[in-house]
A and B are shown apart, each in its own frame.
Chain A
Amino acid sequence: MNFQQEVRQFVIDNFLFGREGQLSNADSFLESGIIDSTGVLELISFIEEHFGLKLSENDLTPDNLDSVDKVAGLVARRLATRQGAT
């Protein structure tokens, strides 16, 4: 499973309770109401625990977290940075 699939599965299980519906990987979580005012913290916990990443305050923007594609992109960039540093 790639990052995108892993993130998508988490979103489906955690926010849609198994109902995939019409979710596309580009759909805005905020616009579609998938994530509520505190749900984003669940997403952050998932990224940090599942991918072993530590997100900074600057990372916590809709540009990074507001769709499956955006989250997968953030994860890929952070993991690449980490690998590059080691």
Chain B
Amino acid sequence: MCGICGTVQYGNVQADAQLIERMIGAVRHRGPDDCGIYTDGQIGLGHARLSIIDIAGGHQPMPDEQRTSWITFNGEIFNYLELREELTKKGHQFGSHSDTEVILHLYQEERERCVERLNGQWAFAIWDGPQQRLFLSRDRLGVRPLYYTRTHDMFLFASEMKALFVCPEIRRELDLHTLDQVFTFWTALPPRTPFKNVYQLPPGHSMTVQNGQLRVWRYWHLDYEPDSEIGQGSEEEISEKLLALLKDATRIRLRADVPVGAYLSGGLDSTFVTALAKKLVGQKLKTFSVNFEDPQFDEANYQREAASFLETEHYSVRCSNRDIARAFPEVIWHAEQPILRTAPAPLFILSKLVRDNGFKVVLTGEGADETMGGYDIFKETKIRRFWQRQPRSSTRPLLLHRLYPYMESLQRQSSAYLSNFFRIEEGAPGPFFSHQPRWQLTAKAKLFFSAAAKSDLDGYNAIEELRGLLPDRYYSYEAFLQAQLLETFYLLPGYILSSQGDRVAMAHAVEGRFPFLDYRVVEFAAKLPIRMKMKVLQEKYLLKRCAQGLIPGSVQTRPKQPYRAPDALCFLEPEAREYVDELLSADCLCRYGVFDPGLVAKLFEKVRSGRPISVRDNMALVGVVSTQLLMHQFVHATQQ
């Protein structure tokens, strides 16, 4: 895994090698093993390398045989051996054993359509010298990041926005619309980023830059087809097909010239991936986990059981509120976006544990919840839809008690209140039926926006913007599938794989690999009947069946517990005092202008009082602190 950057000058202006050096320097943490730049005429490319495949021969930026086209690549192409063999048969000659070179040769054959043949996780740019065109692409599900911006005479791209900001011409200004989106969906809607005039290439998209013109297009579509032929077979047959796919997805994700470890959270998904990997590796696998001092978040018992059952060499790190408080500013520096939960911080601490043990690559279970129907929101949607069919039923809303068993505050609610919070409306469900209660709850944290920010937003409606981004077919899906699409295409790339994934892992130069996000698995899952994903109220039904016998029974049957971490209370720890006191001071809040100082003071006072605090208040405080950090680290830094 690596960091990439580059510029294309318009007109006859030469690329600025020093600028490329400064840009790649800003993302050097992503690739501490090697570094290279290439400039020629209008093009400049930079690369910071984390050496994983072909340690000796994979230096980048890498040219083709004619040295007219050059690539800078962040990621892994897991099917590169098969592609290389195919290309060799067609007469291509390779000078290295890297997957990078395979992309270049495939590009020679298939041009922009080459990405349709790739199975992997990538963000890359190819300078096509003869065409004087830059081709950029990002993997189907957005595992790897790619940002871009432009000035009057230059196009710039990079793995992280901080590399763009080293160019003095790029203004750093918070995009309040994006903030509104984060305070609704937990994530920005691509192509927006937290900064005005800085964009992300959406997952599953490619783009070209030629003669100063940008062209962006989607190269991958996912259709949910719950009535497809795949679902016509017996459960056993379907389960076997899924297992075969998962085995192969794991097999090709073990391709590396360095040892591969695994995250082991104690849940079904990571335990299953570890079990599959262990069978393939055939030797003791090293596994890593984070656990918590606070027992309501801790899964150490399940982690120990899984490690013992799978006979892995297990390492864990214990995370306290103080650890989260200490790490939080650095987490925001890497995440480059406001967050409403502290959950990325323990994963930042975990990636350090991995790196300290000499590992660069880990397999993880991310993606199973989205693709195989694991999240509670799917269960919530199913219960609410069931209730909606008889809205006056007094017994159907009782099922709401089956939701969120790990959230004591919700479990203590009376039925009358639960019904009210998850309330349904008569008639056909609207297009955002599944997520409406959650988004409404999150959006309440916008109460703390300043009057000036609210005025600038001028009635902006983030949900309307989302409506304009969704494909037409979304509106014909059942609510369950709509929920899956929203989770898979927005929260997954924008938060789970970014703030909780790439950014906190790459902070310590650790690469995550995700068998459940192999596009073959994702496309297969999209064709499964809904009952295979959730049978009655049993989540990930088919996946559990697949995993039977391969993982401990206790892990297989345990109640679903999503990964969570302590939130607002972390900011009361001494390790947070210095930055929180400053960032939440009336002076600082006024200077940055995003939040109302009076309201924030009352919120912080409430958290400090020790009184119970709601989900809204928890999210609001984390959101305020993280946004203030972002302002301090990025926006305000230019104003000094």
Residues of A within 8 A of B (CB): 13-14, 17-19, 30, 33, 36-42, 45, 57, 60-62
Give the complex CA separation of A11 and B216 in angstroms: 50
Q: What would 20 A/B residue contacts be, using CB atoms closer than 8 Å?
A: A17-B447, A17-B599, A17-B602, A18-B598, A18-B602, A19-B599, A30-B420, A36-B441, A36-B444, A37-B615, A39-B616, A40-B413, A41-B612, A41-B614, A42-B613, A45-B612, A60-B414, A60-B417, A61-B414, A62-B417
Residues 587-615 of B at the A interface (beta carbon under 8 Å) = 598-599, 602-603, 606, 611-615
Q: Is B211 an interface residue (CB 8 A)?
A: no
Are the C-beta atoms of B417 and A40 separated by less than 8 Å? Answer: yes
Give the complex CA separation of A60 and B598 in angstroms: 32
Chain B hits for A40, CB < 8 A: 413, 417
Give the complex CA separation of A57 and B110 in angstroms: 67
Give the complex CA separation of A38 and B420 in angstroms: 12
Q: A18-B599, A41-B612 provided; 13 other pairs, C-beta below 8 A?
A: A17-B447, A17-B599, A17-B602, A17-B606, A19-B599, A30-B420, A36-B421, A38-B410, A38-B616, A41-B409, A41-B614, A61-B417, A62-B417
Task: For residue B604, give the distance in angstroms from its CB to the closest CB of chain A.
Answer: 10
Q: Is B416 an interface residue (CB 8 A)?
A: yes
Q: Which residue of B lies closest to A66 (CB)?
A: B420
Are the C-beta atoms of A36 and B616 separated by less than 8 Å? Answer: yes
Task: For residue A40, give the distance in angstroms from its CB to the closest CB of chain B.
Answer: 6
Known A14-B606, A17-B599: A38·B416 in contact at CB below 8 Å: no
Q: Is B412 an interface residue (CB 8 A)?
A: yes
Q: Which residue of A lies closest to B414 (CB)?
A: A60
Give the complex CA separation of A19 and B454 in angstroms: 16
Chain A hits for B409, CB < 8 A: 38, 41
> How would you classify the secondary structure of chain B's contact residues: helix, strand, loop or mixed?
helix
Are the C-beta atoms of B611 and A39 separated by less than 8 Å? Answer: no
Give the complex CA separation of A5 and B614 in angstroms: 23
Q: Which residue of B lies closest to A36 (CB)?
A: B616
Give the complex CA separation of A28 and B590 in angstroms: 33
Give the complex CA separation of A43 and B612 in angstroms: 10
Give the complex CA separation of A45 and B409 in angstroms: 12
Chain B hits for A41, CB < 8 A: 409, 412-413, 612, 614
Q: How large is the interface on B (under 10, 10 to 19, 20 to 34, 35 or more residues)?
A: 20 to 34
Chain B hits for A18, CB < 8 A: 598-599, 602
Instruction: Report which of B413, B448, B611 forms a contact with A37, defined as CB distance below 8 A.
Output: B413
Chain B hits for A30, CB < 8 A: 420
Instruction: Report which of A17, A33, A61 forms a contact with B603, defined as CB distance below 8 A.
Output: A17
Task: For residue B37, give the distance in angstroms from its CB to the closest CB of chain A.
Answer: 51
Task: For residue A12, give the distance in angstroms from its CB to the closest CB of chain B.
Answer: 10
Residues 383-418 of B at the A interface (beta carbon under 8 Å) = 409-410, 412-414, 416-417
Residues 247-272 of B at the A interface (beta carbon under 8 Å) = none
Chain A hits for B413, CB < 8 A: 37, 40-41, 60
* Contact flags B415-436 to A (C-beta < 8 A → 1, else 0): 0110011000000000000000
Which of the listed residues A33, A37, A42 has the most CB atoms from chain B within 10 Å of its own CB? Answer: A37
Are the C-beta atoms of B414 and A37 separated by less than 8 Å? Answer: no
- What 6 pairs between A and B have smallest CB-CB spacing? A17-B602, A60-B414, A37-B421, A38-B409, A38-B614, A39-B614
Q: Which residue of A lies closest to B618 (CB)?
A: A38
Task: For residue B598, give the distance in angstroms from its CB to the closest CB of chain A.
Answer: 6
Chain A hits for B616, CB < 8 A: 36, 38-39
Chain A hits for B612, CB < 8 A: 41-42, 45
Are the C-beta atoms of B416 and A37 separated by less than 8 Å? Answer: no
Give the complex CA separation of A57 and B171 in angstroms: 56
Give the complex CA separation of A23 and B612 in angstroms: 23
Give the complex CA separation of A6 and B312 in angstroms: 59
Which of the listed residues A13, A17, A40 has the most CB atoms from chain B within 10 Å of its own CB? Answer: A17
Task: For residue B353, give the distance in angstroms from its CB to the closest CB of chain A.
Answer: 33
Give the complex CA separation of A45 and B412 in angstroms: 12
Chain A hits for B447, CB < 8 A: 17
Q: Which residue of A lies closest to B445 (CB)?
A: A36
Are the C-beta atoms of A57 and B414 separated by less than 8 Å? Answer: yes
Are the C-beta atoms of B417 and A42 separated by less than 8 Å? Answer: no
Task: For residue A19, give the distance in angstroms from its CB to the closest CB of chain B.
Answer: 7
Known A42-B612, A45-B612, A60-B414: A37·B441 in contact at CB below 8 Å: yes
